[in-house]
Structures are given as structure tokens and as C-alpha cells.
Amino acid sequence: MKKILFATTNQQKFKRLSLLTQTKLVSLSDLKYQIKEPEEIGKDTLDIAILKARHYYSCLKEKMPVLTQDDTLKLQVKPKDDPGSHIKEPVIKKYGQFTDENAIEYYINLVKKYGGYTNVF
């Protein structure tokens, strides 16, 4: 069976995509070695995803297609609080690691700070 590397350590994201495909998906956590996450230096989410895919492919010991995904948020906040296309940075800075739970908590608090409301599903 052909394998595809889904370049993420986010297990919730990996599980969601695994349900949609019949291909053998491999996560970064499944590799027997670690690949350092590249710096998110792209100008937008598409650029970041392309840079990540190229980085991870170049570091693979066993070559396989690489799938990446990059998310972003659009918030009406003051510029100093706007993460732009780099949504992980402020979460990691505050909590030490990026997880779905930490991101939800961080951005719910940001929305509340600016008088908005949240509807978490």
C-alpha cells in the first residue's frame, strides 16, 4: 500500500483526515526519527504549506508524497494581537506548545478581550 506523509503532529487533525482516505497516512509521530518543524516564514497559508511540504520531503529518509495543511484565522483585533497567517506563534509563546485545546483557549480569550462572543462547537 502506498504511503503518504501527512506532515503534522496534531493528532486531532490527523484523525480527521485519516477518516477521509483509504491511503495509508503516516504522521510525523509515526516516523522512527524526528524532523524539526520549519519556521513559518511564508507570506500566506498556501505559501507556508508549500514550504512545509518541501522541507519535510527533503528530510525524509524514505521518500513518499507529503501532504501539509496550514490554517489561519481572520480576526478583527488590534494589529499587535493579529496573528495573521502565523496562528501558532502566540499560542506557543503563551502555553509552551500548540495544541487544539490551547489554541481554542487562546483565541476565545482574544475574542472576549475585544468584546466579541464565541460559539465553540
Taking the alpha carbons at both ends of the chain, their separation in whole angstroms is 35
Q: Indicate the pTM of the whole model.
A: 0.64
62 with 97, same domain?
A: no
Structural domain contains residue 7: yes
For residues 50 and 24, membership in a common domain is answered with yes
Is the four-CA dihedral 16, 20, 22, 28 of positive or negative sign? negative
pLDDT class for 88, splitting at 50, 70, 90? confident
Choice between 60 and 2, residue whose per-residue pLDDT is larger: 60
> Residue 31: its pLDDT value, please?
93
Do 46 and 97 lie in a common domain?
no
Structural domain span for residue 91: 79-113
Query: Would 121 be classed as within a structural domain?
Result: no
Per residue in 18-47, pLDDT tens? 777 777 888 899 999 999 989 878 888 888
Number of domains in the chain: 2
CB 70 within 8 A of CB 89: no
